[in-house]
Amino acid sequence: MIFSAYIPGSKKVVGRKYLQIVTSLPPKAPMPIEIERKFLVQDNSWKKDKTGIYFCQGYLCSQPERTVRIRVTADNAWLTIKGAATGLARPEFEYAIPVAEAKEILALCPPCIIEKIRYRFLENDMYWEVDEFLGANSGLTLAEVELEREDQKIFLPTWIGKEVSQDVRYTNAWLAKHPYQDWAAAQKISSPDNKVSF
C-alpha cells in the first residue's frame, strides 16, 4: 500500500519517497531456461578416444509439472529443480551441494537410481552430451545438445538416430520409474500415446 503523509518541518512526502525506493529496485532476473534436443544413438563411432564421468542420480519428485533431482559424481553433487516443459524449453534451477549430503539425500529417493556414464565433447561446433546407461537401464544410449533458442539450426552427426526430444519415456525421471530393461521390444521403437504419464 502506497500512502502520502506530510512530515512537519520537512518538504518530503513519505509516499513519494517510498515510491522512489520501489521503482529504483533492479529488474527481476530472467528465469533460467533449459532448451535441449535429445536423440537415440545408433552406433559407437562417436566414442573413439573419449573418457566419460560416472553419474548417479535419483528423484525426490518426478511429476510432469516438476522434478526434483539429486545427482552425484565422485567429486561433485547438485540439486536440480525443473518445471513443466513448453516445447523444447523448461525452467531449470541447479545448485551445487556437498557430496556427503547428496548421498544422504539420494538414499531418500525411491528406486530405481539412475546410473550412467556421461561423455561431453565438441562436434560440428556444438557440445554434445552422450549418456551410456548402466544397471536397470543398460542398453540405452542417448545424446543431448543444448540450444540457445528452440529454432536454432544444428548439424546432426552421422551416429545420431531417432529424435526423442518430446518422448517422455526417454527422460531420466521416467526411466527411474520404468527402467529400460523392463520395456518390451516393441515399446523401445514405438511412439508414446496420450496415456503415458509419470
Active-site annotation holder among 59, 119, 170, 180: 59
The CA distance from 37 to 153, in Å, is 11
Which phi and psi angles does 17 have, rounded to 5°?
A: -60, -45
161 Cβ neighbours under 8 A, 6+ residues apart: 39, 40, 41, 42
Annotation says 18 is catalytic: no
Amino acid at 173: A
- The three-class DSSP label of residue 146 is strand
Which among 128, 131, 126 has a CA at the least distance from the CA of 53?
131
Q: What residues are annotated to the active site?
A: 59
